[in-house]
Amino acid sequence: MRKLLSITLLSLMLAVPARLATAQESYVLGDGSTIRVDGSSNRSDWSVEATAVTGSFVFTEGSPIEGGFTIAVRDMKSGRSLIMDRLMHSTFGADTHPDIGFALASAQPSDDQGWWEMQGDLTMAGTTNPVIVRLQQQGETGKTARFTGSHALLMTDFGMKPPTAMFGSLHTADEVSIHFDLLLASTCEEDCESDG
């Protein structure tokens, strides 16, 4: 009887970590993730987009608890004008500050429509500021998840000077809007569920 009780207790002790492990999942940003920056000027609107987005997030029971992403400034392209690309790369200080990054500090659901308030630190042009970004979750976390949303900010808040061209006859507005389309893929193998 004591031997059976000992075996049962040992089995329970070994089972608890396995169950806890299944409550926490890791995700990496997959192909198709994009970050776009939209702005305006006295001549026309402009947009640059990065498709090489790297990063990862950790979820506990469906809630993001840590993670972040990084994009290379020089990966941001307008697709229309090399001059615009060079202006933006220079504005972001790509030579000395080659990356733009976001580090998640906390996340809170804001309603029952899948919206989250992601609080964290955004780093651009060598300056880091706290931000709260609202992102909407498309679908449930499982093998994949998707978060979309946008956040408006001022370039000058990050020490950047809005770019100008053509001897100052073209100048951009200080405010820009960053649009996020983040596709997350679970790092768990196909047999993760059976392991738990």
Domain boundaries, the chain: 24-195
Confidence (pTM) = 0.80
Query: CA–CA separation, 121 vs 109, rounded Å?
Result: 18
**Which numeric CATH code is attached to 24-195?**
2.40.128.110
Q: Judging by beta carbons within 10 Å of its beta carbon (0-12, 13-18, 19+), is residue 147 exposed, middle or buried?
A: buried
pLDDT of amino acid 189: 60
CA angle (43 as vertex; 151, 77 as ends), nearest 5: 55
pLDDT tier for residue 167 given thresholds of 50, 70 and 90: low
Q: Name the residue among 172, 153, 158, 187 with its Cα closest to residue 56.
A: 187
Query: CA–CA separation, 124 vs 48, rounded Å?
Result: 15
Query: CA–CA separation, 190 vs 98, rounded Å?
Result: 36
Q: Is residue 85 a contact partner of residue 76, using CB atoms and an 8 Å limit?
A: yes
Query: CA–CA separation, 183 vs 164, rounded Å?
Result: 34
Query: pLDDT digits over 153-162, tens only?
Result: 999 999 999 9
Please state the rounded mean pLDDT for residues 171-181: 93
Please state the rounded mean pLDDT for residues 58-63: 90
